[in-house]
């Protein structure tokens, strides 16, 4: 399909159906997170995804996004691969029923995949571009926070690799900032007993075209949750489930593990729960299971960190943390691998 066909389809999304009443023209919405890991001799952002847009009129939105993911979990001599792309997206919101706002969506993107290795034959870059059409819905947790799910078809063209078609689905948090009502950054809700914290994302990708890339479905479920059982104390956890290997042309495997299951419980103490910048300390300990073509691994993680939550609205906070962690395989004699870790993300906080 030519690029012009994509923009023609976007024009067809415009119409006159009424918008769900919770959204207003000029409403801004955003989502995203950023993470870093350091092994002490390297300090780099490992991955990020960010998306933001604005409601142009009663139905149509326009926005942009940027994504980066780094794969460096290889055996000795394997490549360090970085995938990054950016683009524009649009949505057409239909009238919702209750707290649900359904929509059609479309996006176009371009970027590159960089292969870096000590092996000359694996040290090269590939340009890529593509488009995606889909549909989904926003389920509002409050006036400014929603869980968003959508599914669709993606056409993906990468240099020196056969073009492919994927069926995609993803779930994540979106935050809406109404132009009227509470002012951005002025909210300061107390950390009350019974408050829930929700974060993370999930995705599904299945290649349906015939090419030399991986064709098995790839599933990732990465939620973060917490429960405030005391005005100062929160208990929660990070859960990870991934199934399937992400591959590219020539059989290059981006992630050597074809199955990952892990649970990392944490205990968090808020030092100043009544202040605008809510500072916390956190301890985490948990284990996981990684299966790949060579063996099974059972990594155990210990992490201590400090961070803060800054509420942009009554339901949405920017959360930052920085800490130090150690990881050791329970079934190996290897030493602990330790280093800095941190992140920046948006979190939903829902009261009773």
Instruction: Place 96 in a pLDDT band, splitting at 50, 70 and 90.
Output: low
Instruction: Place 6 in a pLDDT band, splitting at 50, 70 and 90.
Output: very low
Q: What is the mean pLDDT of residues 187-210?
A: 86
Q: Is 40's pLDDT higher than 50?
A: no
CA separation, residue 170 to residues 173, 198, 203, 310, 351 (Å): 10, 16, 4, 26, 25
Q: What would the pLDDT profile of 65-86 be if each residue is shown by its tens digit?
A: 999 887 654 344 455 778 899 9
Terminal CA-CA length for the chain:
49
Residue with more model confidence, 149 or 17: 149
Q: Is 36's pLDDT higher than 80?
A: no
Pair of tokens at residue 246: 């992400």
Instruction: Place 100 in a pLDDT band, splitting at 50, 70 and 90.
Output: confident
CA separation, residue 27 to residues 53, 190, 345 (Å): 9, 26, 21
Q: Which of 253, 249, 223 is nearest to 236 (CA)?
A: 223
Separation between Cα atoms, residue 100 and residue 347, nearest integer Å: 20
Task: Note whether 328 and 299 are within 8 A (CB).
Answer: yes
**Which pLDDT belongs to residue 33?**
81
Q: What is the mean pLDDT of residues 231-249?
A: 85
Residue where the block lists tokens 């940027």: 66
Q: Which of 345, 56, 316 is nearest to 177 (CA)?
A: 316
What is residue 184's DSSP assignment? T
Count CA within 13 A, CB hemisphere, residue 226. 26
Set out the domains of the chain in order of their start, with CATH numbers: 3-350 (2.40.160.20)
**Which pLDDT belongs to residue 195?**
92
Separation between Cα atoms, residue 307 and residue 290, nearest integer Å: 29
Separation between Cα atoms, residue 241 and residue 143, nearest integer Å: 30
**Which pLDDT belongs to residue 1?**
41
Q: What is the mean pLDDT of residues 260-276?
A: 94
Residue with more model confidence, 289 or 335: 289
Separation between Cα atoms, residue 110 and residue 325, nearest integer Å: 35
Residue with more model confidence, 131 or 117: 131
Separation between Cα atoms, residue 326 and residue 338, nearest integer Å: 4
Q: Averaging pLDDT over each range in 14-28, 184-198, 278-292, which range is the top one?
A: 278-292
Q: Which of 292, 203, 280, 293 is nearest to 240 (CA)?
A: 203
Q: What are phi and psi of 309, to 5 degrees?
A: -115, 125
- The strand pair at 296-297 and 145-158 is best described as unpaired
- The strand pair at 43-55 and 28-38 is best described as antiparallel
The b-or-e profile of 98-112 (16+ CB within 10 A means b, else e) is: eeebbbbbbbbbebe
**Which pLDDT belongs to residue 24?**
73
Q: Is 205's pLDDT higher than 90?
A: no
Mean pLDDT, the chain, rounded, equals 80
Q: Is 279's pLDDT higher than 60?
A: yes
The b-or-e profile of 137-158 (16+ CB within 10 A means b, else e) is: bbebbbebbbebebebebbbeb
Q: What are phi and psi of 73, to 5 degrees?
A: -100, 70
The b-or-e profile of 20-48 (16+ CB within 10 A means b, else e) is: bebbeeebbbbbbbbebbbeeeeeeebbb
Separation between Cα atoms, residue 61 and residue 145, nearest integer Å: 17
Instruction: Place 122 in a pLDDT band, splitting at 50, 70 and 90.
Output: low
Backbone Cα Rg of the chain:
21
**Which pLDDT belongs to residue 22?**
61
**Which pLDDT belongs to residue 335?**
77
The percentage of residues in the chain with a pLDDT greater than 90, rounded to a whole number, is 34
Q: Averaging pLDDT over each range in 15-29, 58-72, 107-121, 313-327, which range is the top one?
A: 313-327
Q: What is the mean pLDDT of residues 179-187?
A: 65
Task: Note whether 68 and 35 are within 8 A (CB).
Answer: no
**Which pLDDT belongs to residue 291?**
83
């Amino acid at each position: 399909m030519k690029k012009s066909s994509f923009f023609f389809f976007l024009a067809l999304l415009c119409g006159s159906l009424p918008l769900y009443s919770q959204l207003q023209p000029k409403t801004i919405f955003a989502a995203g997170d950023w993470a870093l890991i350091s092994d002490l001799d390297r300090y780099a952002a490992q991955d990020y995804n960010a998306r933001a847009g604005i409601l142009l009129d009663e139905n149509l939105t326009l926005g942009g996004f940027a994504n980066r993911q780094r794969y460096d979990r290889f055996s000795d001599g394997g490549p360090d691969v970085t995938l990054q792309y950016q683009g524009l997206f649009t949505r057409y919101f239909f009238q919702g029923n209750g707290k649900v706002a359904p929509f059609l969506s479309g996006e176009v993107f371009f970027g590159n995949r960089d292969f870096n290795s000590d092996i000359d034959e694996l040290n090269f870059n590939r340009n890529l571009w593509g488009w995606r059409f889909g549909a989904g819905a926003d389920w509002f947790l409050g006036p400014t926070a929603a869980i968003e799910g959508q599914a669709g078809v993606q056409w993906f063209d990468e240099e020196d690799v056969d073009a492919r078609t994927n069926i995609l689905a993803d779930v994540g948090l979106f935050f809406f900032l109404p132009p009227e009502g509470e002012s951005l950054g002025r909210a300061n809700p107390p950390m009350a007993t019974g408050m829930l914290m929700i974060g993370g994302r999930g995705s599904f990708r299945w290649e349906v075209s015939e090419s030399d890339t991986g064709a098995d479905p790839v599933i990732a479920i990465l939620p973060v949750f917490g429960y405030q059982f005391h005005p100062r104390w929160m208990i929660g956890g990070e859960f990870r489930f991934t199934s399937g290997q992400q591959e590219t042309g020539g059989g290059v495997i981006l992630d050597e593990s074809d199955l990952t299951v892990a649970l990392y419980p944490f205990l968090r103490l808020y030092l100043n729960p009544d202040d605008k910048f809510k500072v916390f300390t956190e301890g985490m300990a948990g284990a996981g299971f990684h299966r790949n073509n060579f063996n099974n691994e059972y990594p155990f993680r210990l992490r201590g960190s400090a961070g803060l939550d800054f509420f942009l609205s009554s339901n949405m906070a920017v959360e930052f943390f920085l800490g130090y962690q150690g990881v050791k395989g329970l079934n190996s004699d290897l030493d602990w691998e330790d280093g800095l870790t941190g992140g920046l993300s948006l979190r939903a906080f829902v009261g009773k």
